[in-house]
Amino acid sequence: MHKRTSLRRLAAVAITAGFVTGATLPAFAQSDPIRIGLILPMSGPFASTGRQVEAAAKLYVAQHGSTIAGRKVELIVKDDGGTADVTRRLAQELVVNDKVTVLGGFGLTPLALATAPIATQSKTPMVVMAAATSSIIDASPFIVRTSFTLPQATIGIAEWAPKNGIRRVVTLVSDYGPGIDAEKVFVARFTQGGGQVTDSLRVPLRNPDFAPFLQKVRDAKPDALFVFLPSGVGGQMMKQFTERGLDKAGIRLIATGDVTDDDILNGMGDAALGVVTSHHYSAAHDSPANKAFVEAFTKANPGMRPNFMAVGGYDGMRVIYKGLEAAKGAGGEALLATMKGQSFESPRGPVTIDAATRDIVQDIYIRRVERVGGQLYNVEFDVLRAVRDPGRG
């Protein structure tokens, strides 16, 4: 009786053990490389975003090595040219043919949204390093974000403006996800602070002609024009802002930091001096971590200055590396779990990947364009601490 019970128990234990072993058996061989697939606009109008994210991701790998949990790490970079159909096809190929453990990059909102269903279906974690529409995070439970959201960046300037003599504002945004987010949040917060938005203008995402819009603003003569444009486009707008004489008419320019992007700021010249923006990263951020980052980035990429896209890529790789280490090289839900909840000191300042929302919590700085050592920088002068995405309430 006693013997039979223990035999039966033994059998039960064996079955259970067998089941458990089967369920936890890794889906990879120790000799398989861990592949990280980045999809970025390396060509086309948003190529500067791809260039920045790629340079930063490669810097992270150079600094932290190409071995995780005893396996070789391979970084694969694919160019989608900024076109969603191409992003979707590349994501499919990376998952099915290259068997990547994790997807990353995503230079524009539509490109991230096109990939989200593939991440969900294949249970592949997807790190959004650049795109910034609030709702992206809801498109797949496998998305983790290391960039920012437009509501997060916008509240800084929307709260600063009415406290600093700006009463009447016209808004001008790119007519797609992040622009609509920025407009909505700016109008709500600025109005709450006692300001008045007299007009809201939207320009096409591709090949915008700012002239007719800026003429309209000049005629309306508000205290300031609030602008959101995706990274890389701000220079064209700034040129036409001065050519149309808006500065001389006494209209101030305020914006999210996308417009005074560190990559192109120096090329804007004196017209940019004094422009106040809010954002999560400035190359001039005063911390030892950022000084080391800017120095290493510039050394590895002569003539280039890291912008907020670079930091999204660098931190994205950090989240992937630490996640893979903790998950012992596993992907899927195991990796998703170890990426969530990470807190660390980024070149931008302290950040957390909120375990519940999978979105980034970070400081938002108020900055003014100044000349420092002969170069233009966004110099931070105030900060909102540990900002969650206000776009999600």
Q: Report in angstroms how near the CB of residue 309 gets to ligand PHB at its nearest.
A: 7
Which token pair is 225? 């024009």
Contact by Cβ (8 Å): 125, 331 = yes
Task: Tell how far CA 224 is from the center of its chain.
Answer: 27
Residue 40 or 131 having the CB closest to ligand PHB: 131
Q: Report in angstroms how near the CB of residue 126 gets to ligand PHB at its nearest.
A: 14
Q: What is the phi/psi pair of residue 146, to 5°?
A: -115, 10
Q: Report in angstroms how near the CB of residue 108 gets to ligand PHB at its nearest.
A: 4
Q: Report in angstroms how near the CB of residue 98 gets to ligand PHB at its nearest.
A: 25
Residue 73 or 91 having the CB closest to ligand PHB: 91
Q: Report in angstroms how near the CB of residue 347 gets to ligand PHB at its nearest.
A: 17
**Cβ-proximal residue to ligand PHB, closest one:** 230
Contact by Cβ (8 Å): 296, 63 = yes
Q: Report in angstroms how near the CB of residue 74 gets to ligand PHB at its nearest.
A: 27
Residue 101 or 282 having the CB closest to ligand PHB: 282
Task: Tell how far CA 290 is from the center of its chain.
Answer: 17
22, 242, 247, 272, 286 from 371: Cα distances, Å: 62, 18, 18, 10, 15
Residue 145 or 189 having the CB closest to ligand PHB: 145
Residue 113 or 330 having the CB closest to ligand PHB: 113
Q: Report in angstroms how near the CB of residue 19 gets to ligand PHB at its nearest.
A: 44
Which token pair is 278? 């809010």
Contact by Cβ (8 Å): 166, 223 = yes
Which of 116, 142, 134 has the alpha carbon at shortest distance from 389?
A: 134
Contact by Cβ (8 Å): 51, 15 = no
Which token pair is 350? 């302290």
Residue 223 or 258 having the CB closest to ligand PHB: 258
Residue 190 or 308 having the CB closest to ligand PHB: 308
Residue 35 or 184 having the CB closest to ligand PHB: 184
Which token pair is 222? 């508000």
Q: Report in angstroms how near the CB of residue 393 gets to ligand PHB at its nearest.
A: 20
Contact by Cβ (8 Å): 76, 37 = yes
Contact by Cβ (8 Å): 61, 317 = yes
89, 177, 276 from 351: Cα distances, Å: 32, 24, 23
Residues that bind ligand PHB (CB under 6 A): 108-109, 131-133, 178, 230-231, 258
